[in-house]
Structure 1
Amino acid sequence: MSHPHPELKSPPKLPQDGLRIVPLGGLGEIGRNMTVFEYRGKLLIVDCGVLFPEEHQPGIDVILPDFTWIRDRLDKVVAIVLTHGHEDHIGGVPYLLRERNDIPVVGSTLTLALIEAKLKEHRIKPVLNHVKEGDRITLGGFDLEFLAVNHSIPDGLAVAIRTNAGLVLHTGDFKMDQFPLDDRITDLRAFARLGEEGVDLFMTDSTNAEVPGFTLSERELTPAIETVFRTAPRRVIVSSFASHVHRIQQVLDAAQAHGRKVAFVGRSMVRNMGVARDLGYLKYPEDLVVSFEQLERMNPSKVAIVCTGSQGEPMAALSRMANREHKIRVAEGDTVLMASSVIPGNENAISGVINGLTRWGAKVVHKGNAKVHVSGHASAGELVYCYNIVRPTNVMPIHGEWRHLQANADLAIKTGIAPDRVVLAEDGVVVDLVKGRAKITGKVPAGNVYVDGQTVGGATESTLKDRRTLAEEGVLTVLAIVDADTGKLAETPDFLIRGFVPEPGAFKDAIGVIETTLARSAKEGVSDPRQLEQMITREVGRWSHRKFRRSPLVIAIVVDA
């Protein structure tokens, strides 16, 4: 297998009939999916999603792919192809279109409706190109064919990319549910047909590659959801992804069967379900869904609430309910149904939400104690099945953390793919398909780009380190008034402390540290206040670590007397 190496440099010039594949997100992580294909000077982008922050990234809203490699060639981008409407595949599109707003966006009806609604909030009017399974179009030298795949959101597509360099089959996110709620199955006949034509590179979803067997059908969840609605004595509060149309349909069906009215709570939930209803992907009687204000006046045993927050997101409705920060006050007898799986990294946040809800008297039904979620991704048995019908020449696992990519690569080899034809890459690693062989040829920038409020890219790893230090260690501000003529302290410095409690008189020794530092700086001819601040910050920081066994963020302010 081909592995990335830290010594990789910028890739060489791409041969005339070569195809370059550059993942800028989604390889080595769950989220931020984005892959750029380069052929004869033109660029095709497949997906542009976001990654949601973890606890060690305080204050960050979402994380974007790094557009650095394509920024000076945005005029060469022929299209953004979206495989489906989940945030980890479409959430970054508004930020890319800010840099060039006329890039055509290609996708299925529901996917484009979801992105169009999102773009309205960013005041961007996109150029949309609707496609469906079976369609075949050509954009800038890329011959694209779209195939139906089943996922946890309707209208998912795989895309076959044909160039003179070869045929690439990109699955997007998929599974092989044989009894999907919308009766739209993954088109394995098309996979087999492409296999007969000759797939030169198979890029396939790795998320569940470690899970043996086959992923359960969405219909398997119906009994558990029905039980919740039948037995709940008061309100049922359901949390789900705002794009999980299939799951919401099951919830609405159960609510109707048990005489409950439903209200959607949360901006993204209201927006997405409205789009899905308008397009016919979500079906329910007109009077089943009511406003939250109407719901508040009804008997609690006859209502249900559908909201966001299944991953413990701090600002989502369910987290705010758990923290008593939402107008919905969870009470004794309420039942909360968390109808989503746990995205890796969110375990602690979700546990905190469950504990908070339980504290207020709610019964919380989740994947750990009931069958209320099935994955939207193919398990190992399905992946092996696909390898055996496609019989690709080269394989490149996508969409997953490193262990998922490795497990997927191992499955490919077990089906007979030569180990040297399996390419294990990660974000930023360049793979070239030339003369039927895929090889790693270099690396491009692919770091995290943080969205912090209205600022994109302003926050850095250094910024986050400072925030973590503030949260964990506190802050120590040193105000030193220095005599400009002597370079000595003009008066006793002030120490302002936040975030930890020192003993009385604890900073007496720090005065000596500052005096020694100033004496040394005077001897070395350093008198610039900025340089003095840096020296005091460093030395007081070292002293603080020795004295308190903690490393607060030290801010030195030198005032020239």
Structure 2
Amino acid sequence: MTVYELGDDVVVVDAGLAFPRDEHLGVDLVLPDFSYLEGRRVLAVLLTHGHEDHVGALPYVLREVAVERVIATRLTLGLVRSKLEEHGVAAVAELVEADPEGPPLELGRFRVEFVRVAHSIPDSVALVLETPAGRVVHTGDWKLDHTPVDGLKTDVGRLAEIGNRGVDLMLGDSTNAERPGMTGSERLVGEAFRTLMPLRKGRILVASFASNIHRMQQAADVAVECGRQIAVVGRSMRKNLNIARNLGYLSIPDDAIVPPKAAMELPPSKVLVLCTGSQGEPMSALTRIAYDDHSNVAVERGDTVIISAKPVPGNELRVHDAINRLARAGAEVLHQEIAPVHVSGHACSEELRTMLSLVRPRAVMPIHGEYRMLAAHAQLARDAGVPAAGIVMADNGSVVELSGGVARVVDRIEAGVTFVDGLGVGDVQDVALRDRRRLSEHGVLIVVTTVALSDGGEIAPPELIARGFGEDEALLGELREEAERVVAELSSDGISEIKLLQEHLHDEIGQLVYDRTRRRPMILPVVIEV
């Protein structure tokens, strides 16, 4: 999420989310902290394309921030409209379709142009924002694909024309900045499908991102050529496929699509399954199939599973686990390490050099990637002639000022992430995650003791309840004795305050547990007055 502000005029580019890492226990989604926008009038949210890391937080933004309109290209708007309807916020802001071939849009003192770029989802665009303070190019996610599936290439002529006008600042995608050369065309994956699929006699399962419309189209084309029926498994993939078909971005004959249950009754050589789960997500279609837990689809010896995606960093173990399970079931599993079944949607270093030479920005701000990727992109900009003073290395929360053709970091605002846990948004804080992590690593020990209301003396011996801690009866017995000793000592000293009793029980029991086990379970003292 990037906020552009000129006086009281505010526009936002993209509103994406991230998925939780392993240490985010119990967290479902990770949103940007957009509290800076609360109370401000946002003229528009401009979306570069329909991937979750660029549009996924939009429903949450619209609930909390006054946004006048959401502007995106046709497919992106179709995917977003469905998402907003699910969240009940479709009527909150006006949804406006952007045309990359059309005239610029006037948004307050911003003049916005959309420039077509190739990516791993159709209808992706870069943005040009013209203001009295300067001209900015925001590339979005892109690559130079000279043979895209839909024939719509990155508009290098338009980018060169914009470069001729003069660009003060370019914010550029840095995902593949460390990779040499050029990113392969999406058609390479189609050629791999056309080579691999006709040779297979069993069922074929293709797992990819649900938003990769071109990947689905190419797999479906080969399936139809081979006389296979197509089953679509996974809620998000079914939804995106229907939206793309209705809008004309995906063409599959109606009679080629069958329900998953019906597909399993056909001869294996007549079936192609398109499914989600390329990242090993626990409840995804492919993972459930791998664990033989899917109600409609199963794999058996002779089947082929094609994982047509690269594992996102952090997901490798889950993906490898799914591959092992599928192999154990007898399936042949093909992935990018052993077959050309995936290409990236992001520009590699040579393409980034091309973009820099086309746009010729006075300043460059690398975005979208880990810091090492931003640094690699910055080095490419220096090599292209951008002066060191024109390289803006910004972090989340950085305030970058563009004035007089000069861009520099001038301030910081509070920015971070907001966790979504079930229906709760922002109610999971770091302390909650710390407690969850501690419970997962060391367990919990509940100490229940009953004392007399009159003098604080113990009425019944303490009870210990252990979960995830181990059932060492000798140790539990020692801990009960320690709890009795603590209560007796406090009673003899005339201390009957509940908070003090709990504090002493917590500290003494915790120390004994650590001395004996070198572990620190969560200790919850419960004192009942009778």
TM-score (norm 1): 0.90
* Structure-2 residue corresponding to 1:29: none
Matched positions, count: 526
Counterpart selection for 1:419 from 388, 408, 431 = 388
Q: Are the equivalent residues in 1 in contact too, given 2:114–2:126 (CA < 8 A)?
A: yes
Paired with 2:408 and 2:508, the residues of 1 have a C-alpha distance of 50
CA distance in 1 between partners of 2:483 and 2:380 (Å) = 62
Tell me the amino acid that sits aligned with residue 308 of structure 1.
T
Contact 1:134 1:145 in 2 (8 A): no
**8 Å Cα contact 1:97/1:103 also seen in 2:** no
Distance 1:532 1:367 in 2: 60
| Letter aligned with residue 295 of structure 1 | A
Partner of 1:273: 241
Distance 1:523 1:370, change over 3 A: farther
- Summarize deviations over 1:34-81 as a string: whole Å, max 9, x none: 1111111121110001101122222222111111111122xx100000
- CA deviation string 1:288-336 (max 9, x = no partner): 1122233132112100111111111111111111222211222222211
**Who is 1:146 aligned against?**
114
1:81 corresponds, among 41, 46, 49, to 46
* Separation of aligned partners in 2, 1:515 and 1:442: 57
Aligned match of 1:10: none
- Distance of 1:193 and 1:519 partners within structure 2: 85
1:343-492 equivalences in 2 (<5 Å): 343-492=312-461
Deviation at 1:525, TM superposition (A): 8.0
Pairing 1:216–2:181 present: no
For 2:349, give the aligned amino acid.
Answer: A
Residue 542 of structure 1 aligns with an amino acid whose one-letter code is: Q
Distance in 1, matches of 2:416 and 2:303, equals 43
Match of 1:499 among 443, 448, 468: 468
Unmatched segments (≥5 aa) in structure 2: none
Contact (CA 8 Å) 2:43, 2:67: kept in 1 or not? no
Residue 481 and residue 299 in structure 1: after superposition, are their counterparts in 2 closer, same or farther (change >3 A)? same
* 1:156 aligned onto 2:124: yes
Closer, same or farther in 2 for the Cα pair 1:140/1:333, shift >3 Å?
same
Structure 1, residues 218-275: CA drift from partner, whole Å, max 9, x if none? 1112232223322222111111111100111110011011110101111111110011
- Of the structure 1 ranges 500-509 and 371-380, higher mean CA displacement relative to structure 2 is found in 500-509
Q: Does 1:167 align with 2:135?
A: yes
CA distance in 2, matches of 1:536, 1:294: 62
Cα deviations by residue, 1:425-475 (Å, 9 ceiling, x for unpaired): 121122111222111122222222111111111222222222222222222
Which residue does the alignment assign to 2:39? 72
Percentage of matched positions with identical amino acids: 42
Deviates more, 1:105-114 or 1:94-103: 94-103
TM-superposed CA distance for 1:515, in Å, is 5.2
Matched-pair contact (CA < 8 Å) for 1:265–1:292? yes
Contact kept in structure 2, 1:469 and 1:553, CA below 8 Å: yes
Q: Match of 1:91?
A: 56
Amino acid at match of 1:193: E
Q: Which amino acid aligns with 1:128?
A: L
Compare 533-542 and 135-144 and name the one that shifted more: 533-542
Question: For residues 254 and 442 of structure 1, do their structure 2 counterparts lie closer, same or farther at Cα, with a shift above 3 Å needed?
Answer: same
CA contact (8 A) 2:445 2:469 kept: no
Superimposed CA distance per residue, residues 373-400 of structure 1 (whole angstroms, 9 cap, x where no aligned partner): 0000000111011112212111110111
1:230 paired residue number = 198
Counterpart of 1:41? 8
Of 128, 149, 155, the match for 2:95: 128
Structure 2 contact 366–393 (Cα < 8 Å) conserved: yes
Shift of residue 415 of structure 1? Answer: 1.2
Residues 69 and 95 of structure 2 are in contact (CA less than 8 Å); yes or no, is this contact kept in structure 1?
Answer: yes
Counterparts of 2:259 and 2:487, CA distance in 1 = 67
Match of 1:329 in 2: 298
RMSD: 1.9
- The answer to whether the Cα contact below 8 Å between 2:231 and 2:257 also exists between their aligned partners in 1 is yes
- Residue by residue over 1:102-129, the C-alpha shift from the partner in whole angstroms, topping out at 9 and shown as x without a partner, is 5311000000000011112112224111
1:549 to 507, 510, 518: 518
Distance 1:165 1:513 in 2: 71
1:53 aligns with 2:20: yes
Aligned to 1:261: 229
Q: Which of residues 484, 501, 507 in structure 2 aligns to 1:532?
A: 501
Note the C-alpha offset of 1:133: 1.1
Distance 2:459 2:437 in 1: 34
Is 1:182 aligned to residue 182 of structure 2? no
- The gaps in structure 1 that reach 5 residues or longer are 1-33
Instruction: Tell me how far 1:134 sits from its aligned partner.
Output: 3.1
Which secondary structure does the structure 2 equivalent of 1:304 belong to?
Answer: strand
- When structure 1 is superposed on structure 2, of 178-187 and 327-336 the one drifting more is 327-336
Aligned-partner SS, 1:493: strand
User: How many Å separate the matches in 2 of 1:538 and 1:323?
Assistant: 44
Q: Which has the higher contact order (CA 8 A, sep 6+)?
A: 1
**In structure 2, do the counterparts of structure 1 residues 499 and 273 end up closer, same or farther at CA, with 3 Å as the change threshold?**
same
Q: TM-score, normalised by structure 2?
A: 0.95
The 3 A distance-change label for structure 1 pair 100 and 70 is closer
In structure 2, what is the equivalent of residue 192 of structure 1?
160
Letter in 1 for 2:28: D
Contact 1:488 1:515 in 2 (8 A): no
